[in-house]
Chain A
Amino acid sequence: GAGVSQSPRYKVAKRGQDVALRCDPISGHVSLFWYQQALGQGPEFLTYFQNEAQLDKSGLPSDRFFAERPEGSVSTLKIQRTQQEDSAVYLCASSMRLAYEQYFGPGTRLTVT
């Protein structure tokens, strides 16, 4: 069956460029999470959606980061004016209502040069 998909898989951006990362969750999954994973670290929470509502965005590192899920399915993480410290793997995960187990996508590796 179809899992969580993310695109692009790899993105190289020049410092100062804007990027948009897409996540297609598993159909019917209500909850959607974005994580940032730096090299050698575990995933760090960025933001959480339940359907189209962004219920927690406390992990977004700055106001350059913005996420949306307008129709409660596909989500986009946008980073404006990228900086070198934004280089990381961005993981998306989805889960069923009231379930803790998350299903992760393969991630988008962002490199800012």
Chain B
Amino acid sequence: DQQVKQNSPSLSVQEGRISILNCDYTNSMFDYFLWYKKYPAEGPTFLISISSIKDKNEDGRFTVFLNKSAKHLSLHIVPSQPGDSAVYFCAATDTGNQFYFGTGTSLTVIP
């Protein structure tokens, strides 16, 4: 049973425009959420995170939004750059021990 879902397997965006990656979860006990970026043949790299006590966290071009009532989070990248092309995973945890990952969204930024 997938507790974290990324329903869009892929996304293409023009360079300079906004990329919006979405993630839904089912477990209301999740209290911390993370986004990871993954290039081929490498492990995931931590990008940005958010605690359930917040609804927005921003770091440079990356902003994560959390809507607890909808059990939805999104990652906004603006402006998108070709180097942002990668697979993005969202993850969630309720204990800090087990982390649940989505299936990933492959982002392509077109120059």
Contacts and interface: CB of A to CB of B under 8 A. Distances in A.
B45 A42 contact: no
Contacts of A18: none
A33 B42 contact: no
Given A91-B43, A105-B43, A106-B41, A100 B96 contact: yes
A105 B41 CA distance: 10
B53 to A, nearest CB: 14
A91 B91 CA distance: 15
Contacts of B42: 106
A56 B97 contact: yes
Interface stretch (B11-19, B55-63, B65-73, B99-107): B99-107
A71 interface: no
Interface string A38-64: 001111110010000001101100000
